[in-house]
Structure 1
Amino acid sequence: MIGYLGTIAYKRHLKQGSFIQVYAPTEEANDAEKEEFYDVLQAVIDEIPRHDLKIVIGDMNAQFSHDRQGFEDITGPFASSKRLSDNGERLLSFCTYNNLCVGNTFFQNKLFHKMTWRSPNGLTFNEIDHVCISRRWRTALRDVRVFSAADVGSDHYLVRINLKLKLQRHEGRSETVRPFAIEKFKDQNIADVFTLQLSNRFQALADVTEIESKWQGFKETLTTCAQQGIVQRRGRRKEEWIKDRSWALIDLRKKAKKKRDQAQEVEDKETASRTYADLDRAMKQSCRRDKKDWLEKKCKEAQVAADRNDTRTLSLKTYQEPGVVPLFQLKTRMEITSSLHEEATKVGLHISAKKSKVMHIGAQVDMPRIKIDGSDIEEVSRFTYLGSTSGQDGDAEIDVKCRIGKATSVFQQMCKTWSPTSISLNIKLRFYTTIILPMATYAAETWKASARISHKVDVFHQRCLTVSSSQR
């Protein structure tokens, strides 16, 4: 059964938002019902302006655990459940795609004030009603707690949301300085003229002794020479893909529109209108060609980076992980660690006891701790190395969850790539296969295959394809 969806919009002091009341399918519902529910909910979210405040509230039938690795910005550290349910995973993906966070999990209330549902026999309590709010407005959410004393004739308790919005003053926009078209320096003639003008003007600054005056003179000289030698790039930064040919057609179309509006005779107006229509058609074709060429260039750069495993280029974040010490026999590993520390000391290096970790794999036995200069190396039950998370039992579910969380975050940051209808589906799929999939399946060859892991990856894959292909 699809949950009921209802929206209540408000507008006050130039702040507009929407409340969406939902009732999600239960945990026992099949995948088709769950996917259909989130498709309908996504359609409602898409109709709301992107910059508006969005609050999704209701019975999500989802549970979250304290383990939030990969979703630190989506859930807080105060979840009440011991496990992450399937509905919880779907809600995490939905929140990540739409830049939302689960507000309940960010407040440390008593457990009695967090449980929102009671079983009919009164023995089981769960937190399955949630408040999802735009991450931009999370600080406006002051508290979320349950009032069990309220008699509402339901097995769900009343949930109160304390929300406080701070209205900001809208100041006038500052003048935007357009960047210079530095690509014109590839022309040797322009580069030579710019260098000559710069050297001549710098001679006048030789007698200036004050640092502040010298810096102001240097900045003004550099800007003046650049304005004379090269032109500033037209358009805003996000319009850098437009070439000079298209800008020339835009100028011609603007002149044709002015001529059409000023025409007095019917024949002159019709001629000017045909000219304007022809220029408008040519301009749009030129812009589409420029956009396609620019996207093809970006796709090739991403493909080259993926082919040479350049994660620095593909990833939007750089992860710095602690060092890891492999474990063998107890005597062997202690000897190896001591020997390595002694040899490193001879050349001025040392092993960091804070960044090094020890993890026991397999049977748990009591072993003395490994020490470096009297400091114990921390023993952990799991660690993350080079972006891959490993556990004591060898289960890859933790790593899969972390990878999907990171890939979902990048997918959401690229929303401007999936939403425009001017970008073809083929180009969107190329971006998805060269950026999103490598991040989600990083180190997948080391995962222990299971039906649960396959289901997680399949749900993520289908969700991404649905979002990217629906924006055509």
Structure 2
Amino acid sequence: MGLTTPPRKKGSVTETRTDSQPLLSTLGEDGDSDSAPELMMTRGESRKDLSDRTPSSSARSLRIASWNVRTLYEAGKCVQATREMQRYRLDILGVSETHWIQSGQKKLRSGELVLFSGKEEGIHEEGVAIILSKRAQRTLRGWEAHGSRLLLASFLSSNRGIKINILQLYAPTNAASEEEKEEFYDQLQRITEKLPRKDVNIIMGDANAKVGSDNISYEEIMGKQGLGVMNDNGERFADFCSLNDLVIGGTIFPHKDIHKVTWVSPDGGTENQIDHICISRKFRRSLQDVRVFRGADIGSDHHLVIATFQLKLKRYSRNPTTKRLKFQVNLLQGNKITDFGITLKNRFQPLEHLDEDMETYWSQVKDSFISTCTEVLGEKDYKHKDWISQESLNRLSERREKKAAVHNSRTRNEKEAAQREYSDAAKEVKRSIKNDKEAFTNELAERAEKAAQGGHMRTLYETTKVLAGKRKNT
């Protein structure tokens, strides 16, 4: 991933024309393989923020979120996204403005799976993605990429015969041309009308649409809890929801205005509700809450929007007998090879004079190999280690505290000072993560060089794949 910083938004969000190309992928494709959750309460977070991150002993509800992260193309952004995803116990996170090109899926080191769709080539801009927790990955039925603004994923629910279809979007801004808006909504309508009405259809993302609090003529699809006044994009979005029988969740539940604002201008003077999560009106009662969580921080001018559902993903029980054993074969050098051969020979001796059928004999041979590998080599350790240093992680926590200080400011001067401190902290985070990335790359290069000199082709091959960005590269 590159280290390019995207331009800041001024006043309103600005994007360019979208290119769409259908693509169907399944979970069976090879993915590429970011950090441990951090549970803390910082200044400015409400008690509800903290309680929503406290694990429950009972079966918890489905938690889906949408977030415009401004970019995932910058080094360390995936780590930050997954850390916040774990902090807020999210099953599925929809992302807008990934700035990734092409389409595909990527397995992160921390275990999450990223489905992404972007432009086929050119400038790193726009782009959408859906990040799945380990729990959600097991229920993924399929997904489709539709250019740089739309991504559809389908999941199996606990109700037999009913799927959960999630469409992540990134709409043109209110200042975009009429042609660009028409093209986007035409494509959105074509995809939506193909979704079965019997399924749970969820459409979410950065709609760049202010729907406001006046629901006259839209009583069936929105409430009076929206923020601000409807604009042109808001009218388009409300008409689309009305046509497809979708309820706009952020307009239904009564919350403070600070828990409705999804975007704040760089100068802090303009606040809008332009990110939305919608659900089929048929399943309106399954939607328990939609709320903005300002405590989540990824260096974006958008806030995290979380929706809680009574819906459940299909449950799969793990079968421990299907676990694939892997051993530390890299230890088979020098005396280890001799020890391994002697131990294996001793286990094979009682089998030489056995008069058993082929299946029984093969089972005993296999058990001999497994017991020998376990005794001499030991199972491979899968402890996850991030390339991001502890110093950078501490700076991320400091940046989150600076963001809370901005929210807690009572006067204009206080807020401006807190905003400057936050900007400085964000620069320090970017600089520290960039240094970590360079150190990680240099370490891999040295490892590859030593492997090449020593003739260890397997190590050289795996290290080269990481350096090339095709495995565990985020």
Higher relative contact order (CA 8 A, sep 6+): 2
> TM-score with structure 2 length normalisation?
0.34
Larger strand proportion, structure 1 or 2?
2
Larger helix proportion, structure 1 or 2?
1
> TM-score with structure 1 length normalisation?
0.34
